Structure 1
Amino acid sequence: MTTHEHDHAGATAPSDCADYLDQIVYFIDNELDEADCAAVQLHLDSCNPCLAKYDLQRTVKQIVARSCSEPAPDELRQRVLLRIREVQVRIRES
């Protein structure tokens, strides 16, 4: 991640926001090192548009996680396994 700079008014340059937005998923999943995590948190504390995007990403991730807790129906699992086998056969025959 690049070092961020603020202009004299305290606003963050749009390119800096893009750098932080790229890191949000990793931040949510606690996959950043301590320094990057602190930098993202500092940015979120001072940038409302990025904070709103962070909140949206976190909410979507939570909803998906809750929705994916049920096992797939057996019929669907069998179709997926069959399709995987078909692809494996094609790869071996190539």
Structure 2
Amino acid sequence: MAGQNNAEDCSDFLERIVYLIDNELDEADCSVVRQHLDECGPCLEKYDLERTVKAVVARSCSESAPKGLRDRVLVQLRQVQVRITEE
């Protein structure tokens, strides 16, 4: 089957790749997705890209927003909450 995957076959795996990265698949599904990644270069590239993006975002999320920005966001959230409760 190596090299014989088509876009239709791969579309089933693209969503599951994200779940694999997030450890949200059971072991049986993990095995199926890993086997597909071993056989499909384009999906393996997508997996590597997704994993890299998640790592960069995780590193970036460890920073704190400046106090002024945090205060403005909190004010906006409170205004939205008030509007929602008034409706």
Unaligned runs of 5+ in 2: none
Selected match of 2:34 from 41, 55, 70 = 41
Question: Percent of aligned pairs with the same residue?
Answer: 64
Q: CA deviation at 1:48?
A: 0.1
Selected match of 1:60 from 31, 50, 53 = 53
Aligned residue in 2 for 1:69: 62
Instruction: Report 1 or 2 for greater relative contact order, CA contacts < 8 Å, sequence distance ≥ 6.
Output: 2
Per the normalisation by structure 1, the TM-score is: 0.85
What is the alpha-carbon distance in structure 1 between the residues aligned to residue 45 and residue 57 of structure 2? Answer: 18
Deviations 1:46-93 (A, max 9, x none): 000000011011111111111111111111111111111000111111
Give the structure with the higher percent helix: 2
Alignment of 1:1-94 (within 5 A): 6=1, 11-94=4-87
What is the alpha-carbon distance in structure 1 between the residues aligned to residue 3 and residue 43 of structure 2? Answer: 15
Root-mean-square deviation over aligned CA pairs: 1.4
2:18 counterpart SS class: helix
Q: CA deviation at 1:13?
A: 3.1
1:12 counterpart SS class: coil
Q: How many pairs align?
A: 87
Q: CA deviation at 1:10?
A: 5.2
What is the alpha-carbon distance in structure 2 between the residues aligned to residue 39 and residue 20 of structure 1? Answer: 9
